[in-house]
Amino acid sequence: MAPLTALRDALRRLRRETAFNAAGVPLQIVPALLWTVLWKGSAPGLLLIIFAAGALTTLQRRRFASLAGVEIPLLPAARRRPTLREALMWLSYGATWRQVAYHALVGPLVACGTAATAVL
> What residue segments make up the domains of the chain, in order of their start?
2-119
Expressed in percent and rounded to 5, the helix, strand and coil fractions of the chain are 85, 0, 15
pLDDT in tens, 21-71: 888 888 888 888 877 777 676 777 777 888 888 888 889 999 999 988 999
61 class by beta-carbon count within 10 Å (0-12 exposed, 13-18 middle, 19+ buried): middle
Q: What is the pTM of this model?
A: 0.73
Query: With 70 as the cut, is the pLDDT of residue 78 above it?
Result: no
Q: Dihedral sign, CA of 45, 51, 100, 57?
A: negative
Phi, psi of 91 (to 5 degrees): -70, -20
